[in-house]
Structure 1
Amino acid sequence: MTRQTKLGTFVKTASPQVIEILGTTGLDFACVDAEHAPFDRGTLDLMVMAGRAAGIDVFIRIAEINPAVILSALDIGAAGLLVPHVDSAEQAREVVAMSRHRGGTRGYSTSPRFAGYGSLGMKEALRAGENAQIVCQIESEPAVRAAAEIAAVPGVAGLFVGRADLALSMGLDNSRDPRVLEATRHSLAAAAAAGKIAGMHVGSNAERDEFAAQGADWFIVSSDQTLLRQAAQAIAG
């Protein structure tokens, strides 16, 4: 792994204490999975608040590309968004526009957490709003074909390969099928060539090291649920 490699894990349990615990580790970030786990707006707010208190960045994987969803996640102070099913550069540009005040369509208020609850001036708050990272998930064959164009969109911080949905889009049920792995390599290379985050989900450190050798540098390793289950099973023997 390179010095720039960032490591995190998915959080699927609706408890801010999970974020607090992860803040005591060497992880760089946590990604709250609002796409596949039961998080409402109030709970997401507590998860991000816990991250700030614990000193760990909290990303949110949003459930859908929707202006209100993006506005809410960024207003509560998420370090960035993991955006599912971005299939084209045009769609990526729309997502970026939804996330930006200047040159975009994101509504502005000085009162949310990202703006320091009114303690920041408008210029400083706008600068803070521009810092949120937008990472687009590559989860279909059209997205793979458009990976270079998506990565080139200004405001896109990186690409994140979602191998499970990518496999399904190919009519497969194995995320390690050679066709999926080739599409993964292609997408990671497109991100790296653009100087952007090259991210993916992996199940283990061994898999992390495998894909780091192919240029991936931003990993969500496993999840809180899986880590808990594995630790409990190790005790059970």
Structure 2
Amino acid sequence: MSRFVEALASHSQLWGGWVVAPTLIGPEEFAAACYHYVGFDVQHGYLDDADVAMLLRRTEHLPIATAVRLPSADPAPIGRVLDAGADAVIVAMVENPDQAARAVAATRYAPAGVRSFGPLRASLGHDPAALEARVSVFVLIETARGLAAVDEICAVPGLAGLYVGPADLAISMGVRPADAGTHPDVRAAIARVRKTATAAGLVAGIHAGTGQLGNLFAQEGFRMITLASESQALRRGAADHLSEAMGQAAATTERGGYN
């Protein structure tokens, strides 16, 4: 059993952080803040296979689960991140059940799938059945086509859940990505994915981007919620520190503290 599966069994909601660059500090800080998982972005981030392998190794003894977002169901990249120890994969731009089935097949050995055997971490063992069982497979619903096929996608055996990408979903529906969290049509589409996944016994996940939206999505029933990337967290923390410092300095100056 992976840390991701253990976390799902223990918590009604999983809160996630996101890493888009080869940082050693980011995953440790998310773990220290009691996030349940950290996602490594190979689709939009500045991470290659070696970076992901290093980051996964770095998190091996941290109390945090790991997921890797990949741009497609290509079995070779998926196999490499699983060999390096990822607890879950999130496959982007899935628009039909065939693509979802290919994503699952990329995580399974023959005869059930097309994954090639080559574990890189001794701690994972060498039992193919155990290696398969520890992997959670999520597919990203982030287009109008994916939304239209969501019932068929949920019927694909081997999926752990659906993960909503609100920005791309909004764009595909003719809505600005900045309005994804408030536009009624996009909100209805997000709700549809969540309801369909839940009814199928799958985990409903979403990329919130902020704590405020994360809280809203949790109240609506999403179980896997990514809050912010390490760059967003750094930007917010840096801005808060600067605001506090400048506000304190201004107040002190008004009181005549500096001469």
Q: What is the TM-score with the length of structure 1 in the denominator? A: 0.91
CA distance in 1, matches of 2:95, 2:28: 34
Query: Would you say 1:133 and 2:136 are equivalent positions?
Result: yes
CA distance in 1, matches of 2:50, 2:214: 33
The one of 168, 173, 195 aligned to 2:171 = 168
CA distance in 2, matches of 1:43, 1:207: 30
Query: Would you say 1:86 and 2:89 are equivalent positions?
Result: no
- Residue identity matched to 1:26: C
1:125-178 per-residue CA deviation (whole Å, 9 max, x = no partner) reads 431232111111001111112112212211110001111001111122131321
Counterpart position of 2:116 = 107
Query: Would you say 1:143 and 2:151 are equivalent positions?
Result: no
SS in 2 for 1:203: coil
Counterpart position of 1:56 = 64
CA distance in 2, matches of 1:16, 1:128: 26
Indicate if the aligned counterparts of 1:10 and 1:30 stay in contact, CA closer than 8 A: yes
Shift of 1:23: 2.2
CA distance in 2, matches of 1:187, 1:46: 34
Shift of 1:69: 0.8
SS in 1 for 2:160: strand
Q: May I ask how many residue pairs the two structures share in their alignment? A: 230
- Residue identity matched to 2:210: S
Query: Would you say 1:206 and 2:227 are equivalent positions?
Result: no
Query: Would you say 1:227 and 2:230 are equivalent positions?
Result: no
Indicate if the aligned counterparts of 1:10 and 1:224 stay in contact, CA closer than 8 A: yes
Indicate if the aligned counterparts of 2:73 and 2:102 stay in contact, CA closer than 8 A: no
Counterpart position of 1:156 = 159
Indicate if the aligned counterparts of 2:73 and 2:99 stay in contact, CA closer than 8 A: no
Indicate if the aligned counterparts of 2:67 and 2:86 stay in contact, CA closer than 8 A: yes
- Residue identity matched to 1:200: I
Indicate if the aligned counterparts of 1:11 and 1:30 stay in contact, CA closer than 8 A: yes
CA distance in 2, matches of 1:50, 1:20: 8
**Structure 2 residues without counterparts, runs of 5 or longer:** 1-9, 244-259
SS in 2 for 1:82: strand
Shift of 1:36: 0.8
Indicate if the aligned counterparts of 2:40 and 2:67 stay in contact, CA closer than 8 A: yes
- Residue identity matched to 2:52: L
SS in 1 for 2:76: helix
Counterpart position of 1:22 = 30
Shift of 1:24: 1.9
Query: Would you say 1:184 and 2:217 are equivalent positions?
Result: no
Counterpart position of 1:4 = 12
Counterpart position of 2:48 = 40
**Structure 1 residues without counterparts, runs of 5 or longer:** none
**Higher RCO by CA contacts (8 Å cutoff, separation 6 or greater):** 1
CA distance in 2, matches of 1:20, 1:62: 22
- Residue identity matched to 1:106: R
After the TM superposition, which of the residue ranges 84-93 and 14-23 deviates more from structure 2? Answer: 14-23
Q: Quick one: percent identity of the two aligned structures?
A: 28
CA distance in 2, matches of 1:5, 1:58: 15
Indicate if the aligned counterparts of 1:17 and 1:50 stay in contact, CA closer than 8 A: no
Shift of 1:179: 1.0
Query: Would you say 1:116 and 2:123 are equivalent positions?
Result: yes
